[in-house]
């Protein structure tokens, strides 16, 4: 294994935490659709994808733990709200299905680009985690892309609701592309490509929306930066729910 200096270790945490936290929160929010998805088939599919997402987060937390950071359980159950680095896009509470599809299509597309760019980091445990994650990510991207297409061609009402949802989601994109304190860490790990994913994402999504005859909505400005731990009051509720069982017996063996 390559030598990892304390500076590298800290930098990798700055880089991986936002990615892991995005996956965890996306998985958590996805699981809230259990029993609420449009049909039984999607209920199964989405539950499975949510479990995958939580699994991806865990793999990344494990890479960090190996470098001396806290363990996965501690990351999820013992971190204060301000210590989380996910973006507003994945944190939004459940609204309607069109909103969820638009949201997850935007997130999965971005995460796919981000994970592929991460392949340039020369750290064997990370690469082995990425190999597993990317295999499932391919399917997650496909799943939400199929839904996007289905809603886009699903009739006048469906298309209108999707277009409206897309506008709402784009207004909240703000901190998706931010690296917060991690920006300087990228250089240390030879990952500067990660800071210029936005044009790649825009071109991929723009092409898709064009193919589906959807308008390109206005991308909202960054109001609060989740990458700096700014998550708004709704995250306090989410975190309280996520940790509710654990806090009953914090010292217990789970």
Partner 1 sequence: MAIEETPVYEVFVQADALSFPTHVGSVRASSPEFALQMAREAFCRREAAHDVWVARADAITKARSDSATLPTAGTDKRYRMPGGYDNAPHWKRFKARAMTIEEVAADMRTKPGR
CB nearer to partner 1: give 141 or 185: 141
Q: Nearest 10 degrees: CA dihedral of 113, 43, 86, 208? A: 30
**Hey, what are 3's tokens?**
């030598």
Closer Cβ to partner 1, 47 or 243, answer by number: 47
Among positions 10, 32, 42, 181, the unique one binding partner 1 when judged by CB under 8 A: 42
Nearer to partner 1, 96 or 237 (CB): 96
- The only residue of 1, 3, 39, 248 in contact with partner 1, by rule CB under 8 A: 39
- Binding string to partner 1 for residues 102 to 141, with x set by CB under 8 A, is what? -------------------------------------x--
143 forms part of the interface with partner 1 (CB under 8 A): yes
Which member of 2, 3, 35, 41 binds partner 1 (CB under 8 A)? 41
146 counts as binding partner 1 under rule CB under 8 A: yes
Q: Is 44 in the site for partner 1 (CB under 8 A)?
A: yes
One-character DSSP codes across 4-70: --HHHHHHHHHHHHHHHHHHHHHHHHHHTTTTTSSSHHHHHHHHHHHHHHHHHHHHHHHHHHHTTS-
Site string for partner 1, 179-218 (x = CB under 8 A): ----------------------------------------
Contacts with partner 1, 150-169, as mask; x by CB under 8 A: x---xx--------------
Residues 6+ apart with CB under 8 A from 96: 161, 165
Q: How far is the CB of 45 from partner 1 (least distance, A)?
A: 4
| Rounded least distance, CB 126 to partner 1, Å | 25
Helices of type H across 78-153: 88-91, 97-118, 124-152
CA distance 124 to 120: 11
- From the CB of 154, what's the least distance to partner 1, in Å? 7
For residues 36 and 57, give the distance between their C-alpha atoms in angstroms, rounded to a whole number. Answer: 24
Contacts within 8 Å (CB) and 24+ apart, 152-161: 152/212, 152/213, 152/214, 153/212, 158/98, 159/214, 161/96, 161/98
104: its two tokens: 């997850």
Report if residue 45 touches partner 1, rule: CB under 8 A: yes
In 3D, which of 69, 47, 25, 17 has the Cα closest to residue 242?
A: 25
The Cα-based distances of 245 to 56, 76, 180, 251 in angstroms read 22, 12, 31, 12
Q: Segment near partner 1 (CB under 8 A), from 44-52, 92-100, 185-193, 231-239?
A: 44-52
Interface with partner 1 by CB under 8 A: which residues? 39, 41-42, 44-45, 48, 139, 142-143, 146, 150, 154-155
């Amino acid at each position: 294994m390559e030598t990892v200096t304390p500076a590298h270790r800290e930098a990798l945490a700055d880089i991986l935490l936002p990615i892991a936290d995005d996956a965890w929160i996306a998985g958590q929010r996805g699981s809230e659709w259990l029993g609420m998805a449009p049909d039984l088939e999607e209920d199964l599919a989405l539950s499975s994808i949510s479990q995958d997402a939580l699994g991806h987060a865990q793999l990344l937390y494990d890479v960090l733990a190996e470098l001396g950071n806290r363990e996965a359980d501690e990351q999820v159950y013992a971190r204060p709200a301000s210590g989380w680095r996910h973006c507003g896009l994945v944190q939004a509470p459940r609204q309607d299905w069109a909103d969820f599809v638009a949201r997850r299509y935007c997130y999965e597309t971005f995460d796919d680009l981000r994970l592929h760019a991460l392949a340039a980091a020369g750290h064997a445990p990370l690469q082995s985690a990425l190999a597993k994650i990317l295999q499932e990510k391919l399917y997650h991207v496909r799943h939400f892309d199929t839904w996007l297409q289905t809603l886009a061609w699903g009739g006048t009402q469906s298309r209108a609701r999707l277009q409206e949802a897309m506008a709402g989601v784009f207004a909240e994109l703000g901190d998706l592309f931010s690296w917060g304190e991690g920006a300087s860490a990228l250089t240390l790990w030879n990952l500067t490509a990660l800071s210029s994913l936005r044009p790649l994402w825009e071109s991929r999504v723009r092409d898709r929306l064009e193919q589906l005859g959807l308008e390109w909505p206005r991308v909202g400005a960054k109001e609060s930066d989740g990458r700096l731990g700014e998550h708004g009051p709704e995250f306090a509720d989410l975190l309280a729910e996520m940790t509710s069982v654990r806090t009953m017996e914090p010292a217990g063996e789970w």
